[in-house]
Amino acid sequence: MSSTIQRSTPVPAGTTNENVIAGQAGEFIGSRPAIVEVFAVRDTGGAAGVGTIEVLFGQRQMYVPAPLSNSVAAGRLNKAEDSIMKDVAMPGERITLRVTETGGAAILTAITRTEISDL
């Protein structure tokens, strides 16, 4: 079974959103391993905060906190350029995309897409 979670999430200055995909269908991997690919950028329009993203599958850190790139597609993801990681998630694992606004002066809008497909 395949699923896609696409979100545009505002993160206030100096705060962390512990999981921008919390509550979404596909947040937890089903009974079979799955391939998960994550795309992420920050929207540079309006109040453009700066920040980092970290990806976890269950307790496994799959992508260490790293700066979000600027959106080169006017607030949209460019799948050819904005993939940050692709790996296998195990049955029952929770996918976590943790976003932190690190600039302290503006709201960060994180644009993420998580594609989940059967292994």
Residue 89: domain span: 15-106
In a domain, 24, yes or no: yes
3-11: strand order across its sheet = 3-11, 108-118, 34-42, 83-89
In a domain, 7, yes or no: no
Distances (CA, A) of 40 to 1, 30, 119: 22, 23, 22
In a domain, 115, yes or no: no
Closest CA to 41 of 66, 19, 13: 66
pLDDT digits (tens, 9 = 90+) for 10-43: 999 999 999 999 999 999 999 999 999 999 999 8
Query: Into how many domains does the chain fold?
Result: 1
Strands (E) in the chain, as ranges, are 3-11, 16-17, 34-42, 51-57, 60-67, 83-89, 95-101, 108-118
pLDDT for 104:
78
Residue 89 has pLDDT above 70, yes or no: yes
pLDDT for 76:
81
Task: Tell me the residue type at 86.
Answer: K
pLDDT for 48:
60
Cα gap 85→38, rounded to integer Å: 6
pLDDT digits (tens, 9 = 90+) for 41-78: 998 665 566 899 999 999 999 999 999 988 766 778 88
pLDDT for 98:
98
pTM, full prediction: 0.93
In a domain, 118, yes or no: no
